[in-house]
Structures are given as structure tokens and as C-alpha cells.
Amino acid sequence: MFINLHGPPTRDPAIRAAVNLHLSKVSKNKRTRYNVEKLDRRQAQQRRRRREIEEQRVRDETEQRALVSWTVNQSIRNSMSGDLLTPEQHLNENTTGWKAARDFFTVFIPYEGNALGLSVQQTNAYARGLLSWAYQHDAVMFGLASYRLCCLPSSQDPSSHVRQMIEWLRSKVLNWINNRLAQSHVDDVLIQVIILAMVVDDYLGYVEFRQVHLQGLDAVIDRRGGLDAIGTSEPAIGRTLRQSTLTVIGTTILNINTSLRAASKPSPLSPSILTYPEYSLSEQLHRLVARLPIGLQELALSQHLSVEMVGIVLSFTDWLNNLDPVVAESSASWRHPTPAGLSNLEKCLYVALICLSDDLSGMGGHISVLIFRKPGQRARMILSDEGLWDDPRTADCVLWLATVVCSPRNITIIPRGVQNVLQEKILRQRPEVGDLAAIERILRRFFYPEARAGAWMQAWAAKLAKTRAK
């Protein structure tokens, strides 16, 4: 600061104190302004950095969506080009197959990631890895497209265009697998395609392929180097591929063990490797049976349920009792290992428990529920076994089984045709259950969760109303 002095400098303390005070105030003001400006600059930089990060995130998401759309479109355009013919028409961007493959990436991936317990970043990485495979290998894209089409309710109709498209895609996938195996080319892509084929074949009802696929996949995994080697070629989807492989293997074993025998007889007369209790139960077994619903208690006491099946039902009972209604629809479904040798009644009961657990849990709202719930197939399973219908001691259980299997939480996948056939057969054989009160009394003798009771009774009310209107 410039101070204009007239005459020689003074040493008057008062004057010097005033000057020093003035200078200190000026300096303090400068420092304050500097600190404020510095803080403002730092805050502005932080705000700018946060804005840049957010803008980059939005750009990344936008680019990713564009990449998904572009890559899928290009992959499917390349793979489903005009030189590949369906039985009816060329495949192009306007056909069902192309839309199905596109939908898998744009609609299904978030559901799949959530079901597999993946984070958003892991789901995105999984999608990119799968997209890369779909772009390089027609079979991956065909398999994903057929998987997506199986989730459409119209796929249950063998005469529908969707079903014909699935069959055509399936033939392409199986031919690719055979050619790959003939060349002894075993890799992660082959495993991915095989598990897709297994899921589709099981949904379509090709039960004779279950054991073949299972043995083939087991051999391929051994050739690949074991389960730990699965997915090592594509780290982004390695964990997911291993998890999916184990899930498909477990589901296939379950389906094999719950396939009905050709000739069904009441379980006490059928040879079995399982243990059926004597009429006089041991004290311990009696206590276990007493925990079952009354309808299942009677089946156990009449030797229709093996000790092993009693254990399975008790496992479901514990799961149901511990299910929190508030978060039930986002909870995990129930599953239990299935022993070989179950009677046909026990197999139908086990399948119905799976259906009920899916309807009560997060699985009931999954976009792929039709593939795993399979209400049409399982309803025909009950309908086809005459042994269930001939024994009056299983009549109440059959009514409960039919009600559970044919009343999925997702009403769009209800198998209306076979549901109607089952209901008519029950009403024809049992005229005494021709009113809602009688039906409700029977259903309450088994598992009767309030979350599903309304839908069950609504289905029977609609059927009885139609019957009376005739």
C-alpha cells in the first residue's frame, strides 16, 4: 500500500499503530476474499466434476442401449438373412424370430440378472458377453430366440405360428450342436447352446431327450475340464454360465425323477425303492405326519405317501410357515431334492408343491415363468394318470392338485383348455362337489394359503357358473 507522507517519517507510536491496524485490516480482507474465491473455485470444480460424471454415466447408458440395439440388430440381420428359410417365409426384421432375439436382450436381460443375483454392472457385462457370442455364432442367437418365444402363452398351442418358429429354431440349434461335437470342438459357447436347448426341449415336452441331453452335457463338461473351467473363455459371463449350467442340470434331474410311469397303480401295490410306513406308525413318524394338513395325513396313514415324501412335504411346510407375506412376491421359491422311485401320486404332489411355491414367491412374477411353471404340461400329467382317478382315497388330493397346477399367479399362462377338461372330469366323477362350499372344504384339507385362495375359488366359480348355464 502507498502512504503519502509529508515531511520526514514520524516515530509517533499512535500514528504507526493506526497505520499497522489499517494495513492488517486490508491484508485480512484480501486473505478472506482469496479464501472465499478459492473455496468457490473448489466447489465449482467439484460441481463441474459431478456434472461431468453424471453426463458421462448418461452417455454410457445411452451408448450401451444403442450398442445393444445396433449389435442385436446387426447380429440377427446377419444370422437371419434372406437365404435362411422357415417353412413359410424368409426370416427378416419383421418376423417373430428376429423380434424374439431382440427382446431377449432388451427385455429379458434385467430379469435374468436379477434372478441370478447379479449387480447392474455384472448384468451389463453378462449382456455384452452374450451379445458377442450371439454375433459370432448363429446357434446362440437361435437358442436365445427360441427361449424367448417359449415364454409366450401362444407357444403352448402346437399349431401356432410361434410354436412352428420354435421348432424350426430348435432344429437349427440341434444341427449346430451335432456338427460342433462331430468336430470335437468343445468350448463355453457349446455349453451355452446345450443348456438353452435343454430348457427349450423340456418345455416343449421332449421327455425322451432329457436323459440324452444330461449325459451329453456331463461328457462335454468333463471334456471342458470340469465345472471350474466353464466360462473361463469369457470372464464377463463365466460365473453366470456356471450357475445357469448347475440350475439346468438340477431342473433336468428333477423332471426325470417326476416323470410319470406308463402304468400307474396305487402306491401300496407298486414296487418301490422307497419306504412306505406300516399302518401302525412309530411314535416319531406319527409326530411328523401330524404336522401335515389333514388331507395329506390321511394319505400317509393309508400308505399313499412314503416316508421320503413325508419329509419333502414337511420341508415345504417349513418354507411356507417362514414365508413373510410382506415380501413373499420377491422371495426365493422352494425346491427340494427329488428321490428316484416316487409313485405317480407323489410325483404329481411334488410338482404341485413346486407350482404353489412359484406362485407365492418371486418366481410367479418372473418373465420366464411359463418355461419353468409349465401349467399345461403338468395339468396333462395329472389328467393322463388313470391310477389317480380310480382310487377314491386320492379323489380329494386330485381336486387340490388340479386346482393348484391350473391356477398360476400369472393369469396369461393359464392353460384354459386342459383346465376345463380337468374340472369337467372332476365334476363328472364327483357330483357331490358341485358347489363352491364343498370345493372349498376339500381344498382346505390341504395347503390353502390365503394369497392363492381367491384365485382358486374364482376359477371354480367361473366353471360352476358355465356348467349351470348349459
Query: Phi and psi of 213, rounded to 5°?
Result: -60, -45
For residues 340 and 257, the answer to whether their CB atoms sit within 8 Å is yes
Q: Which residue has the higher pLDDT, 34 or 433?
A: 433
Q: What is the pLDDT of residue 279?
A: 46
132-164 burial code (b ≥16 CB/10 A, e <16) = bbbbebbbbbbbbbbbbbbbbbebbeeeeebbe
Residue among 288, 273, 447 nearest 357 (CA):
447
Rg (CA), the chain: 33
Query: Phi and psi of 266, rounded to 5°?
Result: -55, 140
For residues 350 and 344, the answer to whether their CB atoms sit within 8 Å is no
Per-residue pLDDT band at 413 (split at 50, 70, 90): confident
Please give the Cα distance from 236 to 188 (Å, whole number): 12
For residues 223 and 191, the answer to whether their CB atoms sit within 8 Å is no
> What are the CA-CA distances from residue 241 to residues 105, 195, 269 (Å)?
16, 9, 44
pLDDT tens per residue across span 308-350: 899 999 999 999 999 988 888 778 889 988 888 899 999 999 9
For residues 393 and 299, the answer to whether their CB atoms sit within 8 Å is yes
Concatenated DSSP letters of 337-365: ---TT--HHHHHHHHHHHHHHHHHSGGGG
Q: What is the pLDDT of residue 97?
A: 59
Single-letter code of the amino acid located at 271: P
CA 186 to chain centroid, in Å, comes to: 27
CA dihedral 443, 448, 451, 453 (to 10 degrees): 10
How many residues make up the chain in this entry? 470
Place of cell 405317480: 344
For residues 408 and 372, the answer to whether their CB atoms sit within 8 Å is no
Share of residues in the chain with pLDDT > 90 (%):
32
Residue among 130, 201, 132, 134 nearest 171 (CA):
201
Per-residue pLDDT band at 265 (split at 50, 70, 90): very low
Give the predicted TM-score (pTM) of the model.
0.73
Q: Which residue has the higher pLDDT, 97 or 154?
A: 154
For residues 338 and 315, the answer to whether their CB atoms sit within 8 Å is no
Residue among 406, 395, 393 nearest 439 (CA):
395
Q: What is the pLDDT of residue 94?
A: 44
Place of cell 436381460: 109
Q: Is 85 helix (H, G, I), strand (E, B) or coil?
A: strand
Q: What is the pLDDT of residue 44?
A: 76
pLDDT tens per residue across span 282-292: 777 888 888 99
Please give the Cα distance from 80 to 74 (Å, whole number): 10
101-105, 251-255, 432-436: lowest mean pLDDT where?
101-105
Per-residue pLDDT band at 67 (split at 50, 70, 90): very low
For residues 388 and 348, the answer to whether their CB atoms sit within 8 Å is yes
Average pLDDT of the residues of the chain: 80
Residue among 374, 369, 363, 349 nearest 207 (CA):
374
Range 411-433 average pLDDT: 90
pLDDT tens per residue across span 177-224: 999 999 988 999 999 999 999 999 999 988 888 889 999 999 999 999
In eight-state DSSP terms, residue 159 is: T
Grid cell listed for 424:
369337467
Question: Is pLDDT above 70 for 1?
Answer: no
Q: Can you name the residues that pair with 85 across neighbouring β-strands?
A: 90
Q: Tell the burial category of 262 from Cβ atoms under 10 Å away from its Cβ (0-12, 13-18, 19+).
A: exposed
Grid cell listed for 450:
390365503
5-14, 29-38, 145-154, 337-346: lowest mean pLDDT where?
5-14
> What are the CA-CA distances from residue 230 to residues 30, 176, 258 (Å)?
67, 20, 28
79-99 burial code (b ≥16 CB/10 A, e <16) = bbeeeeebeeeebeeebbbbe
Exposure of 224 in the CB half-sphere (CA atoms within 13 A): 23
Please give the Cα distance from 395 to 247 (Å, whole number): 34
For residues 355 and 401, the answer to whether their CB atoms sit within 8 Å is no
